Amino acid sequence: MDNAYKVLILVLVCVLSFGCSHRKKPEDSYADYERFRQSYAGYADLGGDWDWTEENDPTVSGKVLRRAHSAIGTPYVWGGVKPGGFDCSGLVQWAYRGAGVRLPRTAAEQKEVGFAIRDLSQMRPGDIVAFRRAHGGYHTGIYIGDGKFIHAPRTNTRVRIESMESGFFKTHFVGARRVDMSKGSLALARASEEADREYRRSKSSREREERAERRRGRDRDRDEARSSRRDRDRDEARGSRRGRDRDRDEARSSRRDRDRDEARGSRRGRDRDRDEARRSRRDRDRDEARGARRGRGREGDGARWSRRGRGRDEARGSRRGRDRDRDEARSSRRDRDRDRDDARSSRRGRDRDRDEARSSRRDRDRDEARGSRGGRGRDEARGSGKERSRDRDEARSSSQRRGSSSAPGRSEKKDKDARRSDQNKPGASAGRSQGGKGAEQQGKRQRREITVVPAGRSSKKTGKK
């Protein structure tokens, strides 16, 4: 409990010592001050009744009023005693000091100076008015007449004129004090005016420096912006150059890779072509060697062949080898074509079977929907007859293909064997022309006798089955 009382007493002492002082705020610009002063002067109708020019009121109280009026619009600053900012007691002290009167600093001390005015109707402009604050402490101002006074109200406000009849000031009014102006010091007034002029000069100098600093800041910002823009443009140019160089290198690399791949492909193609040429040459040489060996064997049997005949036989053997290779190639192509045709035929057969199955399924469904047993039997008989006729046609075509593919091969083989036997007989060179003609006629006769006989039937000409 004792600690609480001690704290309360300490707080009261602090409030009484500092009076109505508040936290100090930074000075506003001179332009804001002039704008507020002009607007407030117009609102308060300062003039007419309060004409405080030195010609109209040369007294000391007139000087106090003129000085206090010149401070209208000045921002409230905690502990301020200069034109840059005032608190309530600082404004009163500054106004009286300009008139050569020295006053105490705090509001609690200012409400005790001079002598008290008992009758409020006797108040004159220039008197000090004091008010009690709700939280403790005092507030002072300068009376200007007609129930109004000039003061510095509180934080975040400016010096202004208030009416003493308003709610707060009417209920918290303490009293008025009048100071003896005859004790004013001319030297103090001149010193105060000189201090004010010095403050105004320093303020203008400070404002010029601030403007110069702002201008330098703007120039510095502009230079920095230009430098950053130049750096950005340079970096973009470098990046674009790097991008172009990278694209060019990639294009070169891709072109090199493509050329290398093409060269490798062309080399592989040339190697493949060379290998194929070597194989074909080797096969041709082997076939020629075989034909030559066969020719030499035939010459060794009876030494009947002359050099001319041997050359002809070797030429025939080489031609036969080439013809055989060509026939083998043709046969392989025919086999491939036949396999392709068989595959196509099998696909067509599958498609036809699928279509027939679909058709038969549709027909069967339709017949079942009709519900006619006789109709279904007739359709089934027709379907079985169609299938039998199709099977018979396919058997005929297959037998014809087999007969046509086998008969010419056998006749050509017989003709070749007959010619070879005629050539090997003694005296064949003398009667070669007659024997050759007879062999050709005999081959033609045999080919005419060979006919295509379907499977399961007998030939009328040969009588064979």
The terminus-to-terminus CA distance of the chain in angstroms comes to 147
Mean pLDDT throughout 261-290? 91
- Average pLDDT value for residue range 405-421: 53
Nearest Cα residue to 14 out of 108, 88, 114, 81: 108
**pLDDT the model gives residue 229:** 92
**Contact by Cβ (8 Å): 130, 138:** yes
Residue 185, pLDDT above cutoff 80: no
Tokens 């206090």 correspond to what residue?
A: 68
- Mean pLDDT, the chain, rounded, equals 77
Could you count the other beta carbons within 10 Å of the beta carbon of residue 112?
A: 11
Q: What is the pLDDT of residues 277-308, one digit of tens each?
A: 999 999 999 999 998 888 777 777 666 666 67
DSSP-assigned letter for residue 158: B
Residue ranges of alpha helices (H) inside 78-165 are: 88-98, 107-110
**Beta-bridge partner residues of 116:** 177
Alpha-carbon span 307 to 104, nearest angstrom = 159
Q: pLDDT (tens digit, 9 = 90+) per residue, 197-213?
A: 888 888 888 889 999 99
Q: Best-predicted range by mean pLDDT among 110-124, 183-197, 382-396, 421-435?
A: 110-124
- Name the nearest CA neighbour of 210 among 25, 23, 24, 28: 28
Query: What span, in angstroms and rounded, lies between the C-alpha atoms of 104 and 83?
Result: 18
Taking a C-beta distance cutoff of 8 angstroms, is the pair 455, 395 a contact?
yes
* pLDDT at 435 exceeding the cut of 50: no
Count Cβ atoms below 10 Å from residue 442 Cβ, excluding itself.
Answer: 13
Residue 430 has pLDDT above 50, yes or no: no
- Pick the residue with more confidence: 7 or 103? 103
Name, of 127-131, 189-193, 196-200, the range with top average pLDDT.
127-131
Task: Please give the DSSP secondary-structure letter assigned to residue 256.
Answer: H
Q: Is residue 139 over pLDDT 90? A: yes
Angle at the Cα of 55 from the Cα atoms of 51 and 57, rounded to 5 degrees: 60
Cα–Cα distance measured from residue 149 to residue 147, given in angstroms and rounded to the nearest whole number: 7
Cβ of 84: how many Cβ atoms within 10 Å? 19
**pLDDT greater at residue 431 or residue 213:** 213
For the chain, the domains span: 21-184
Predicted pLDDT at 256: 92
Between 54 and 106, residue with greater pLDDT: 106
* Whole-number pLDDT of residue 27: 41
Dump pLDDT digits (tens) for 158-179: 999 999 888 889 899 999 999 8
Q: What is the pLDDT of residues 325-374, one digit of tens each?
A: 999 999 889 899 989 998 988 888 889 889 989 988 898 898 888 876 65
Q: What is the pLDDT of residue 213?
A: 93
In degrees rounded to 5, what are phi and psi of residue 295?
Answer: -65, -40
For the chain, the residue count is 465
Q: What is the DSSP letter of 122?
A: G
Q: Which residue has the higher pLDDT, 50 or 321?
A: 321
321 pLDDT exceeds 50? yes
User: 310 near 337, Cβ under 8 Å?
Assistant: no
Does 180 have pLDDT greater than 60?
A: yes
* Closest of 293, 280, 294 to residue 322, by C-alpha: 280
Please say whether the beta carbons of 195 and 94 come within 8 A. Answer: no
How far is residue 304 from each of residues 318, 424, 460, measured CA to CA in Å? 20, 9, 46
DSSP state of 29: P
pLDDT at 456 over 70: no
Q: Is 32 left (phi over 0), alpha (psi -120 to 50) or beta?
A: alpha
Give the span between the Cα atoms of 59 and 52, in whole angstroms. 10
> What φ, ψ does residue 210 adopt, rounded to 5°?
-65, -45
Residue percentage of the chain with pLDDT more than 90: 30
Lowest mean pLDDT among 4-8, 105-109, 255-259, 385-389: 4-8
Most confident of 31-35, 56-60, 327-331, 381-385: 327-331
The reported pLDDT for the residue numbered 48 is: 34
The whole-number pLDDT of residue 329 equals 92
**pTM across the whole model:** 0.40
| Residues 21-184, CATH architecture | Alpha-Beta Complex (3.90)
Tell me the per-residue pLDDT of 1-22, one tens digit each, with 9 for 90 and over. Answer: 566 666 677 766 665 555 444 4
Q: What is the pLDDT of residues 49-76, one digit of tens each?
A: 444 444 444 566 788 899 899 899 999 9
Can you list the alpha helix ranges (DSSP code H) found in 122-185?
A: 167-171
pLDDT band at residue 216 under the 50/70/90 scheme: very high
Determine the pLDDT at residue 190: 82
In whole angstroms, what is the distance from residue 376 CA to residue 387 CA?
16
Q: Is 233 left (phi over 0), alpha (psi -120 to 50) or beta?
A: alpha
Q: Is the pLDDT of residue 218 over 80?
A: yes
Q: Could you tell me the pLDDT band of residue 451, with boundaries at 50, 70 and 90?
A: very low
pLDDT at 401 over 80: no
pLDDT at 302: 62
Where does the pLDDT of residue 99 fall: very low under 50, low under 70, confident under 90, or very high at 90 and above? Answer: confident
Percent of the chain with pLDDT over 70: 69
With the CA atoms of 397, 403, 409 and 413 taken in that order, what torsion angle do they form, in degrees rounded to the nearest 10?
A: 180
Asked whether the predicted pLDDT for residue 36 surpasses 80, the reply is no
Q: How confident is the model at residue 318 (pLDDT cuts 50, 70, 90)?
A: confident
- Alpha-carbon distance of 196 to 66, in angstroms, equals 14
Q: What are the strands, taking DSSP E only, across 266-315?
A: none
| pLDDT score at 13 | 60
Q: Which residues pair with 142 in a beta bridge?
A: 128, 150
Question: Rounded distance, CA 213 to CA 217, Å?
Answer: 6
Q: Which of 50-59, 202-211, 400-409, 413-422 has the highest mean pLDDT?
A: 202-211
Residue where the block lists tokens 């009167």: 101
The mean pLDDT value for 27-42 works out to 46
Q: Which two tokens stand for residue 244?
A: 């172009």
